Amino acid sequence: MKIRAHHLLCLQGFRGLGYSPEFIKKMEEMKRKMEVEGNFSIEVVDECDDICKVCPYQLDGVCQKGKKSAKRTRAVDRRVLKILGLKKGRKIPSQTLLSGIKEKLNFSLLIKICGECGWREVCTYYLKLRESWRKEMQLKRGEVA
Give, for all 145 residues of the chain, the pLDDT tens digit. Answer: 999 999 999 999 999 999 999 999 999 999 999 888 878 999 999 999 999 999 999 999 999 999 999 999 999 999 999 999 999 999 999 999 999 999 999 999 999 999 889 999 999 999 999 999 999 999 988 876 5
- The candidate with the shortest Cα–Cα distance to 57, out of 118, 123, 115, is 118
∠ CA 67-57-42 to the nearest 5 degrees? 110
Report which secondary-structure segment, H or E, holds 76: helix 69-84
Report domain extents, the chain: 2-104
Strand, coil or helix: what is 131? Answer: helix
Residue 15: closest CA among 119, 132, 97: 119
β-strand pairing of 2-4 with 41-45: parallel
Q: How many CA atoms lie within 13 A of 85 on its CB side?
A: 9
Q: Structure pTM?
A: 0.91
Q: Does residue 86 contact residue 8 with C-beta atoms inside 8 Å? A: no
Cα 67 to the chain's mean position, in Å? 21
Cβ–Cβ contacts within 10 Å for residue 100, how many?
Answer: 16
**Residue 61 DSSP SS3:** coil
